[in-house]
Amino acid sequence: MRIRNRPRASGAIPDASMSDIAFLLLLFFLVTTTFEVQKGISYKLPKKPDETTVEVVIDETNRLVMTIKQWGAHEYVVLIDQAPPDGPLQRARAGEDVSLQDTTLQNGIRTLAAQRAEAIDAVQSRLLNNLEVAKGLPSGTFSSLETAIAAENLVAMIRPGIIRTYLGAATPMETSQVFGEVAFGDTLVLSDARQGDIASAVRESELVVILKFFPDCDYEGMVHALDVLRMNGVSRTGITIQQRMGGGA
């Protein structure tokens, strides 16, 4: 009797279709994978000037130009290049520097800013616009601030500014039918009993102060100069870098 050998199972794994599977996986990952793209810094280019472009010109009576120089580690001096006429700060002679901490200088800046206080009607107009924005309402929803206060059941109040402390009785005041006497630097606030403050606006100054710094003036000096202006009621500022000429100070 003839005995036949039964075929035995082999331990080898068939790999005939592995190339097809790898190709399909490659296609899958190419289709589904997302790549991070560096977009760089997003910015908008200025529009090309046209006939409708209006150049803003600052009236000399509202412009104060000062050069800031550094003398020592934490000492900064000011040279007044241009000041409003007939004001407390007139154009100084060349080389006539004064310390940034000088009381007369700061009083003069404060007085100039106070003399050019924003009209109360303009402040209330900004306050009304801020209220509409805070409420998510279209511009022009309310015909007047009084109408808005009545419709929204708001309370109008004043937070005195730091200028009242410095100038005292000399602080220019303007009377508002809604807020009473408003001083330069005060904050007009609208609030309600449940949500608290809803909108506010500060009565600012039309005075524009342009600061010119020498390149060797450190960052601390720039910040210090800006702090002095803010403490004395100046909110409109401009900064430029002054180049030294002929090695002079």
How many Å apart are CA 183 and CA 172, to the nearest integer?
A: 6
Residues 210 and 107 grouped into a single domain? yes
One domain, residues 133 and 234: no
Q: Mapping DSSP to helix (H, G, I), strand (E, B) and coil, where does residue 59 land?
A: coil
pLDDT over 70 percentage in the chain: 79
Whether residue 187 sits in one domain with residue 87:
no
Q: Give yes or no for residue 246 having a pLDDT over 60.
A: no
Q: Which two tokens stand for residue 74?
A: 């934490």
In terms of pLDDT, which residue wins out, 154 or 246? Answer: 154
Amino acid (one-letter) located at 241: I
Same domain, 73 and 190: no
pLDDT mean over 178-196:
89
DSSP of 168-182, one letter per residue? GGGS-EEEETTTEEE
Distance, CA of 88 to CA of 105 (rounded, Å): 9
Kindly state whether residues 124 and 189 are assigned to the same domain.
yes
Do the Cβ atoms of 116 and 235 come closer than 8 Å? Answer: no
| Residue 79 included in any domain | yes
Which segments within 11-132 are labelled E, that is strand? 63-70, 76-82, 98-99
Q: Please give the tally of structural domains in the chain.
A: 2
Contact 188, 123 (CB under 8 A): yes
Q: Is residue 214, in this structure, part of any structural domain at all?
A: yes
Instruction: Output the domain CATH number for residue 233.
Output: 3.30.420
| Co-location of 101 and 138 in the same domain | no
Q: Evaluate whether residue 30 is within a structural domain.
A: no
The answer to whether 114 touches 163, Cβ cutoff 8 Å, is yes
For residue range 123-132, what is the model confidence (pLDDT) as tens digits? 999 999 999 9
DSSP state of 238: E
Q: What pLDDT does residue 248 have? A: 40
Both 71 and 137 in a single domain?
no
Q: Does some domain include residue 13? A: no
Instruction: Note whether 109 and 214 are same-domain residues.
Output: yes
Residues 169 and 220 in one domain: no
In a domain, 171, yes or no: yes
Beta sheet of 236-241, edge-to-edge order: 98-99, 76-82, 63-70, 208-213, 236-241
CA dist., res. 51 & res. 65, Å (int): 30
Report, as an integer, the average pLDDT of 161-186. Answer: 84
Residue 28 lies in a domain: no
pLDDT at 94: 59
- Looking at the structure, do residues 157 and 95 belong to the same domain, yes or no? no
Residues 210/202, Cβ–Cβ less than 8 Å: no
Same domain, 165 and 233: no
Whether residue 109 is contained in a domain is answered as yes
Q: What is residue 247's predicted lDDT score, i.e. its pLDDT?
A: 43
Q: Is residue 137 part of a domain?
A: yes
Q: Where in the sequence is the domain holding 194, given as residue range(s)?
A: 120-202
Identity of residue 26: L
Asked if 111 and 214 sit in the same domain, the reply is: yes
